[in-house]
Amino acid sequence: MRPIPGALRYAFVFFLAGVAAGCASAPSASRGAATSPGPSPADQTMSRASAEFSLGREAALAGDFECARLYFVRAIDTVRPPGVATPSEPLVDFSYELYESIQRYEALAGATEEAGTSHGQIAPELATEIEAPAATPEEIASARAAVDSEMPAVSSDVPIVVNDAVLRVLAAFQSDALHDKIAAGMARSGRYVPMIHRIFAEEGLPKDLAMIAFIESSFLPHARSPRSAHGVWQFMPRTGRQYGLKSNGVVDERSDPEKATRAAAR
């Protein structure tokens, strides 16, 4: 049995401690779910936990993060009851997937605050076009030397072409003016890139295309452009609906990292 990593345990202790009492009366999805005669106990547990997770996901997409946390706690407690150090053997793999998904949707709360877009405002990263400052010949030469030294250790599933135009951009992106924005986007990418890689692999796409989301939105699920494109993949409303993303006054699935990624892949 694989133990739950210490860092993950700490993250969820912190996460559980932040549950607000505002949704204490929220209905549980587990009522009556265990009475089905056919499935095994493990299957019933996964079904109940998945139902609670689905309720939390919908609450998170609606911006009700307090209720989302309550449902997520219930999902975790279903798989790993209080006082139990690790899930039972049949549930270990499922529990890892559940923890990963919960962390991703819990991150929507922080992304909303970062982007300032929960009420339709434009994300600062997208409010104006970022114009890369001009690079000096010395900076371009330094970028070329860095690429030459690092390229042998880099593996890619899309062709990498390095020419003068690419080197000028690489050199410019090292400037102080852009460094903080790029660093913030790369830090956020860790929440979503593994999921994007998985979906792209399932859809038969090169995994390295995941970094298009960095250019589109700086990995902000609630990012909104001046033209009303929305989410990590910056779907316009009509295009989102065309690819199955629901958008109304309650839920905007363009903000759903997994559903939007599946739609983008298609």
Band the pLDDT of 25: cuts 50, 70, 90: low
pLDDT, tens digit, 9 for 90 and up, residues 91-114: 888 887 887 778 777 766 655 444
The mean pLDDT of 252-263, rounded to a whole number, is 92
- Predicted pLDDT at 209: 92
The percentage of residues in the chain with a pLDDT greater than 90, rounded to a whole number, is 17
* Residue 240 predicted with pLDDT over 80: yes
Half-sphere CA count of 193, side-chain side, radius 13 A: 15
pLDDT in tens, 127-172: 444 555 677 888 889 889 989 898 888 888 888 888 888 888 888 7
- Return the half-sphere exposure (C-beta side, CA atoms, 13 A cut-off) of residue 172: 12
Residues in contact with 258: Cβ distance below 8 Å, sequence separation at least 6, in sequence order:
101, 104, 195, 199
| Residues 6 or more apart in contact with residue 139 via CB below 8 angstroms | 171, 172, 174
Question: CA–CA separation, 47 vs 29, rounded Å?
Answer: 10
pLDDT > 70 fraction of the chain, expressed in percent and rounded: 74
* CATH number for domain 124-133+175-265, candidates 1.10.530.10, 3.40.50.300, 3.30.43.10, 1.10.10.10: 1.10.530.10
**What pLDDT was estimated at residue 111?**
52
Greater model confidence, 11 or 235:
235
- For the cut 90, the answer to whether the pLDDT of residue 120 exceeds it is no
Spell 53-78 as b/e; 16+ CB within 10 A means b.
bebbbbbbbebbbbbbbbbbbbbbeb
8 Å CB contact between 181 and 175: no
Using an 8 Å Cβ cutoff, are 30 and 78 in contact?
yes
208: confidence class by pLDDT, cuts 50, 70, 90: very high
Range scoring the smallest mean pLDDT among 24-33, 72-81, 241-250: 24-33
**Pairwise pLDDT comparison (38 vs 133), residue with the higher score:** 38
Tell me the mean pLDDT in the region 202-208: 93
pLDDT of 198 higher than 90: yes
pLDDT band of 18, cuts 50, 70, 90 = very low
- Check residue 6 and give its pLDDT: 39
The domain spans of the chain are: 6-115, 124-133+175-265
Give the pLDDT of residue 202.
Answer: 95
